[in-house]
A and B are shown apart, each in its own frame.
Chain A
Amino acid sequence: LTDFLNYLMLGLTRGSMYALIALGYTLVYGVLQLINFAHSEVFMAGAFGSFLVVNGIVGDGGNVSGLASVFVVLAGLASGALTGAVVAYGLERVAYRPLRRRGAPKLAFLISAIGASFFLSQLFGKVFNRLGNNQFPDYLNKNATLFTIFGAQVKLLQVVIIVAALLLMFFLDRLVSGTKLGRGIRATAEDAPTAALMGVDIDRTISRTFIIGGALAGAAGFLFGSAFVFTNTMGFIPGIKAFAAAVLGGIGNIRGAMIGGLLLGVAENLIPTAPWVGGEAWIGQEWTDVVAFVILILILVFRPTGILGERLGRAA
């Protein structure tokens, strides 16, 4: 049971980050019906941007504690979100809007996104560095055990990540369901031409959707960077997983993305280690990704529109 809980926490931590990134995919898919393949690089940019800020605040000086670390976490989240938002906005202006104006086929968007993804990841690698082991400075005591349940240690950082992610998701949910902008996003997702007739500025709404998704991914970049290492190619795998999570929950569906992310994170950590209590693992840790994708394929085969179905987007 101890192992089970440990893996559950690990899964929840990863899952909440997947969920944050998946929201960006889902939002953009909702309004544009296209997969924003460069979203993973927005996530990466968020990690680098927040790193510069956190590094600036903390410097090399050892541990920060107490209220100061709360402040640093907030600053990191904010700066990550800001970087992510800026990059996502630029992305939309450069790689998507011109194509939209020309009425390009859907796959052209995909290729443009892939190009932008290569470009961003390598540009960040070039300007900052291409090392594989960048670490955030210690801004809080990462491995401090907050409390113990049945022998499983719940780490402070895990709690921070999960709480931050849940808060952000909550805000997003309110934003989309409660505000005028949210209404615009939903209207655009429902039926763009009609929404335009009803007075929604489509271009502006799309830009803002990108900005919101980018901010979430940037914040996730900060969280991910704190928990693990960050590199200029870090976006790829989490990006793919998050995309899978978005599809899992029903792409275009915001709550679906949240649930899909959490589910994927938990499942890929729990299933490979199935007989959690003692003994040999059922199948090795190296099969994590296979498990994730097999679940995905199975769910799609038996429930082709994801767990919650599509809501934001239309079924074409």
Chain B
Amino acid sequence: MNRRRSLPDWVGRALACLVGAIVLAMMVGPQQGSANDYGVGFRQSVLNSRIFYFLAVGALVFLAVTYKDVVLRYASRPGVRPLIAGVLILLASYFLMRWYDPLGNNGKFSGLADAVGQTPGIAPLAEVFFAWLWWVSLIVLVVGIFTAIAKQLRWLGWACAVLAVLVGVIAVVAHSSAASAGGGIDHSFGAPTALIGYLVLAAAGVLAARSTAETAATREFVERVMAFRPGLPLVAMGLVLGVLALTVATWFAPQQDNATLVDASSLFASSAASGLSEAFLAWLGYLIFAVVLLLGAAAVWTGQKLLGYLTAAVAGVAIVLTVVTLHDISKTAFEAGYPGAGGPWQDLGSGGWLLCIALFSIGAGGFVAARRAPVSAGTASSDGATANGRLHQMGASTTTLSIALFGIGLALFYPPTATTFWQQALVTDIGVYVLLAIGLNVVIGWAGLLDLGYIAFYALGSYTTAYLTGSLPVKPPSWLNLSPLWAIPAAIAVCLIAGVLLGAPTLRLRGDYLAIVTLGFGEIIRIIAVNNPGNFTNGPRGVESAVPHPVIDLGFFRIEWGGNQLQYWYLLLTLVAILFILFYRLEGSRLGRAWAAVREDEVAAQASGVNTTRVKLLAFAIGASTSGLAGVFFASDIGYFNPQNFILANSILIVAYVVFGGMGSLIGAIAGAAALTWLPNFLRDQVPSEDRVMWIGAVLVVMMVFRPQGLIPARRREAELTGLAGHDTSVRQGVQAVPAGEGV
């Protein structure tokens, strides 16, 4: 095919890199031209000395692509990838993360370093670290590990690993002493991120030192680690977090106080707090952590089922004790009128919650160990090949299970320590869209129906709630004034009916036609909400009065939502958990398999006796009712909403979440939605707010180019993409199957 191409390959590549560099320059350049001078933005970003940085990046990319073989040979050495990852994480923690919240936007590393430099009497370690140790250690580590890899010097690898861990610990200690010198409430991520970066670097060093092969197999290494004593990583994580929680973390922090566990113990020593809390702060906390840790270690090491479950149970008790203590001390402080104490559950630092995460992690480790006993050494040596295969398989699923469990721990106990902004973002931005993504995953991922009007059902759910709670201009009959919780069945019913009404005539359409029909439906619903026929929806202004918060009142037991976002967070977690279990069961059921059949080949499915219309309609209705449920939640959480919440772009974004996470995979949908909704909130601090959408678009494209199957692909989908052994699936792919250069 090169017959007609007159230019050599590298010219095109160089041009592409040049264009890429210029586009990059514009992406990070200053904001927009004005109506009088359209070129100003372009000139400022491109005709500026900064362009040379970007040209240099472009040149590097060009060289890397041109000499790909050489680069790849080095890049596949063991340890190179963790080295790069570690450096990237450290740079991210330097440039992107905040190291100290009270300094606001100046709270990044350099800002804190300046502040430390100007503060006399700070711990010498912190002074040294922020003054020069950071950069020096980084350079030494990079050079050292690289040399170790290139020259295969084992001792150097070990030395660098030790040094990395050391510096990581120094970073945390330096940060905490700087923060305690400064006072104030600090939830910054800079230091923990740096610690992770250093640990990754240490892993690079260990890999370089331990490597026997010429090429890297990082993934296999990870899986070997996970498969050797399942649950070990979780317990180790719990150990680190727990020690941090018991020693340096803040347990009680009203008014800029930073009381660690020891301080809190003396603070509450002779207060009205219950004996249990006092004991917990004084000694029980340490003791119970030690007990759980020992149990966990024993369970992991021996692989005894009983011991594992016992660990999980004891860890559960310990978590309950911790939470009770936390509640008790905050309540006591509030009632005693401690200055700044805001009431039960208020002003608790991160320490208690961190301890909960640690305990949960260890308990999960015990659970994992009980679920998956380690492969005995005998099998491995007797039959290398199969044992290796088993090891591989088991490691993979153990990894997934461990990560999932740790994620649950974080989801349970991290939010209380987050700032109000993040709590708000977690519920209204992230959580709601996770719910929506779970629902859409049924429609797109399992049944393979492209639905671009998914947000319409969300709108229906929200407006149904608003109507039933009397927040719209049109009031419901007076006997029907409900709490939002009672709107849930109604909203689900409305969405089911709407889904069936829309689906019944249209579901016989093929993929893209269905997409445009659903898109049209979504727009119609939104425009109806805007145009406000019969003064039902109150038009673009949104609901008339706030949708009330839900209340559960059983006489003796009463919960009222709305005090803070955390309550909604836990309600949301419950909903997600219920849906997750339901849908997880559904996926493997007869219906789930019928969906897969319809998705893969509708004609064949029909021929095999699947009632395709009914099956597709069910998928549509289930997805719609999930969306309606999310709508109820959204309406009662946010109170006021208007048709702007239901624009088409949101529908498209949910599709993006599902595909980004990995189509057809429940965990993938959750991860994708969480990642992509977290990103704009994260970017809020990092880039100008107008540019956020641009960066998200870039992330989507890059992700799809390099990992089209999504973050956590479903097994079946992954097999489709990579091809099962012996099945050349690429034949089915039509155009894509034609290799480049086939035609002349």
- Min Cβ gap A47→B in Å is 12
Using A105-B720, A122-B691, A296-B517 as known contacts, say yes or no to A201 and B33 having CB atoms under 8 A apart: no
Q: How many residues of A contact B (CB 8 A)?
A: 79
Which of B444, B508, B652, B694 gathers most chain A CB within 10 Å?
A: B694
Contact of A100 among B1, B516, B736 (CB under 8 A): B736
- Residues of chain B within 8 A (CB-CB) of A305 are 513
- CB distance A202 to B509 under 8 Å? no
Using A107-B659, A134-B35 as known contacts, say yes or no to A126 and B708 having CB atoms under 8 A apart: no
- Residues of chain B within 8 A (CB-CB) of A202 are 735, 738, 742-743
Q: Which of A68-76, A148-156, A216-224, A240-248 contacts B (4 or more CB under 8 A)?
A: A240-248
Contact of B512 among A103, A104, A131, A251 (CB under 8 A): A251
Is there a chain A Cβ closer than 8 Å to B6's Cβ?
A: no
Using A100-B735, A115-B698 as known contacts, say yes or no to A128 and B743 having CB atoms under 8 A apart: no
Is there a chain A Cβ closer than 8 Å to B388's Cβ?
A: no
- CB distance A123 to B506 under 8 Å? no
- Residues of chain B within 8 A (CB-CB) of A290 are 523-524, 527-528, 531
Using A103-B721, A115-B704, A290-B524 as known contacts, say yes or no to A247 and B513 having CB atoms under 8 A apart: yes
- CB distance A287 to B527 under 8 Å? yes
User: Within A257-311, which residues are at the interface with B (CB < 8 Å)?
Assistant: 284, 286-287, 289-290, 292-294, 296-297, 300-301, 304-305
- CB distance A114 to B656 under 8 Å? yes
- CB distance A123 to B527 under 8 Å? no
- CB distance B506 to A115 under 8 Å? no
- Min Cβ gap B722→A in Å is 9
Using A94-B701, A104-B704, A105-B663 as known contacts, say yes or no to A126 and B648 having CB atoms under 8 A apart: no
- CB distance A126 to B32 under 8 Å? yes
Is there a chain A Cβ closer than 8 Å to B69's Cβ?
A: no
Contact of B524 among A98, A114, A130, A294 (CB under 8 A): A294
Is there a chain A Cβ closer than 8 Å to B49's Cβ?
A: no
Is there a chain A Cβ closer than 8 Å to B510's Cβ?
A: yes
- CB distance A244 to B516 under 8 Å? yes
- CB distance A293 to B521 under 8 Å? yes
User: Within B155-170, which residues are at the interface with A (CB < 8 Å)?
Assistant: none
A70 to B340, CA, bound (A): 75
Using CB atoms, name the residue of chain B closest to A93: B16
A93 to B652, CA, bound (A): 23
- CB distance A123 to B694 under 8 Å? yes
Using CB atoms, name the residue of chain A closest to B520: A293
Which of A109, A200, A293 gathers most chain B CB within 10 Å?
A: A293
Chain A interface SS verdict (over half): helix
Contact with B along A117-157 (1 / 0, CB 8 A): 11111110111111100100000000000000000000000
Is there a chain B Cβ closer than 8 Å to A64's Cβ?
A: no
- CB distance B659 to A128 under 8 Å? no
- CB distance A118 to B693 under 8 Å? yes
Is there a chain A Cβ closer than 8 Å to B315's Cβ?
A: no
- Residues of chain A within 8 A (CB-CB) of B7 are none
Contact of B696 among A115, A126, A240, A289 (CB under 8 A): A115
A103 to B517, CA, bound (A): 27
- Residues of chain A within 8 A (CB-CB) of B23 are 123
Q: Which of A13-21, A25-33, A172-180 contacts B (4 or more CB under 8 A)?
A: A25-33
- Residues of chain A within 8 A (CB-CB) of B736 are 100-101, 103-104
Q: Which of A2-10, A162-170, A191-199 contacts B (4 or more CB under 8 A)?
A: A191-199
Using A111-B660, A134-B35 as known contacts, say yes or no to A243 and B516 having CB atoms under 8 A apart: yes
Using CB atoms, name the residue of chain A closest to B42: A127
User: Within B569-586, which residues are at the interface with A (CB < 8 Å)?
Assistant: none
Contact of B648 among A122, A131, A240 (CB under 8 A): A240
- Residues of chain B within 8 A (CB-CB) of A23 are none
A90 to B22, CA, bound (A): 14
User: Within B109-141, which residues are at the interface with A (CB < 8 Å)?
Assistant: none
Which of B42, B510, B701 gathers most chain A CB within 10 Å?
A: B701
- Residues of chain A within 8 A (CB-CB) of B743 are 195-196, 199-204
- CB distance B516 to A118 under 8 Å? no
- Min Cβ gap A149→B in Å is 33
- CB distance B41 to A304 under 8 Å? no
- CB distance A114 to B38 under 8 Å? no
A195 to B734, CA, bound (A): 11
- CB distance A118 to B697 under 8 Å? yes
- Residues of chain B within 8 A (CB-CB) of A117 are 697
Contact of A118 among B505, B512, B517, B696 (CB under 8 A): B696
- CB distance B531 to A286 under 8 Å? yes
Is there a chain B Cβ closer than 8 Å to A67's Cβ?
A: no
A121 to B649, CA, bound (A): 13
- CB distance B694 to A289 under 8 Å? no
Is there a chain B Cβ closer than 8 Å to A110's Cβ?
A: yes
Contact with B along A220-255 (1 / 0, CB 8 A): 000000000000000010001001100100010000
- Residues of chain B within 8 A (CB-CB) of A118 are 693-694, 696-697, 700
- CB distance B505 to A201 under 8 Å? no
Is there a chain A Cβ closer than 8 Å to B450's Cβ?
A: yes
Is there a chain A Cβ closer than 8 Å to B97's Cβ?
A: no
- Residues of chain B within 8 A (CB-CB) of A294 are 520, 524
Contact of B26 among A109, A110, A127, A243 (CB under 8 A): A127
Which of B509, B516, B741 gathers most chain A CB within 10 Å?
A: B516
Using A111-B704, A122-B691, A199-B744 as known contacts, say yes or no to A128 and B655 having CB atoms under 8 A apart: no
A299 to B26, CA, bound (A): 44
Is there a chain B Cβ closer than 8 Å to A116's Cβ?
A: yes
- CB distance B691 to A99 under 8 Å? no
Using A94-B701, A126-B690, A289-B523 as known contacts, say yes or no to A107 and B744 having CB atoms under 8 A apart: no
User: Within B480-516, which residues are at the interface with A (CB < 8 Å)?
Assistant: 505-506, 508-513, 515-516
- Residues of chain A within 8 A (CB-CB) of B740 are 101, 203
- CB distance B32 to A193 under 8 Å? no
Using CB atoms, name the residue of chain A closest to B694: A122
Using CB atoms, name the residue of chain B closest to A205: B743
A128 to B697, CA, bound (A): 18
A160 to B700, CA, bound (A): 39
- Residues of chain B within 8 A (CB-CB) of A297 are 506, 517, 520-521
- Min Cβ gap A107→B in Å is 5
- Min Cβ gap A210→B in Å is 14
Using A101-B740, A129-B32 as known contacts, say yes or no to A108 and B704 having CB atoms under 8 A apart: yes
Using CB atoms, name the residue of chain B closest to A55: B38
Contact of A112 among B26, B515, B700, B738 (CB under 8 A): B700
- CB distance A300 to B506 under 8 Å? yes
- Residues of chain B within 8 A (CB-CB) of A100 are 735-736
Contact of B705 among A29, A35, A99, A240 (CB under 8 A): A99
- Min Cβ gap B541→A in Å is 15
Which of A33, A118, A121 gathers most chain B CB within 10 Å?
A: A118
Contact of B41 among A129, A193, A196, A292 (CB under 8 A): A129
Is there a chain A Cβ closer than 8 Å to B150's Cβ?
A: no
Using CB atoms, name the residue of chain A closest to B700: A115
Contact with A along B674-714 (1 / 0, CB 8 A): 00000000000000001101101111110111001110000
Which of A33, A126, A244, A316 gathers most chain B CB within 10 Å?
A: A126
Using CB atoms, name the residue of chain B closest to A48: B38
A196 to B744, CA, bound (A): 8
Using A98-B705, A125-B32, A129-B35 as known contacts, say yes or no to A107 and B697 having CB atoms under 8 A apart: no
- CB distance A129 to B701 under 8 Å? no
Please name 22 pairs of A and B residues whose Cβ atoms are closer than 8 Å in the assembled complex, sorted by A. A99-B705, A99-B708, A105-B708, A105-B717, A105-B721, A108-B708, A111-B656, A112-B701, A112-B704, A112-B705, A115-B696, A122-B690, A125-B32, A127-B45, A129-B38, A134-B35, A199-B744, A201-B744, A289-B524, A289-B527, A296-B516, A300-B506
| Given A35-B515, A118-B696, 4 new contacts (CB under 8 A) | A103-B721, A105-B720, A126-B27, A244-B520
Interface residues of A (CB under 8 A from B): 29, 31-33, 35, 37, 51-52, 55, 90, 93-95, 98-112, 114-123, 125-131, 134, 188, 192-193, 195-196, 199-204, 206, 236, 240, 243-244, 247, 251, 284, 286-287, 289-290, 292-294, 296-297, 300-301, 304-305, 316
